[in-house]
Amino acid sequence: MSRRLKFLLAGTVILITMEWRTLLYYILPPPDFSQGKVVLYATDWCPYCEKTRTLLEQRHIPYKEYNIESSEEGRHQYKQLAGKGVPVLLVDGEVVRGYHEKRIAAVLDQWQARQHNKTVKEK
């Protein structure tokens, strides 16, 4: 086996090993800790976490927040969601990593539509 091929194989193995949680996330979807609701995994010092909070509050979205630095349960869930940075938003089982306003808005719009449909069916 050539030296170049050995280097490529070793590099591939290292990358896979480093990213095993992310790969596992795609093979086995993470559990839905939200139970149909909105959950924010964040820190106190993160400016993007603050932007996410503001967005949720502006849209009058009720949410549960876990500070991943002080909440053992939050940190555990965050790790199972393959969290690498904050914020991580879990909306009815759908994970949004990072602050991407358009992506968050789209996911929240879908969630609100499902909530509305449930309310209509219950009446």
Quick one: tokens of 122? 């219950």
Where are any strands of DSSP class E within the chain? 38-42, 64-67, 88-91, 94-97
pLDDT in single tens digits along all 123 residues of the chain: 688 888 788 777 776 665 665 665 566 666 667 777 899 999 999 999 999 999 999 999 999 999 999 999 999 999 888 888 999 999 988 899 999 999 999 999 999 998 888 777 776
Q: Which residue has the tokens 């993007």?
A: 48
Residue 47 tokens read as: 């400016």
Q: Where are the domains of the chain?
A: 1-30, 31-122
Task: Look up the pTM and report it.
Answer: 0.75
Name the architecture of domain 31-122: 3-Layer(aba) Sandwich (3.40)
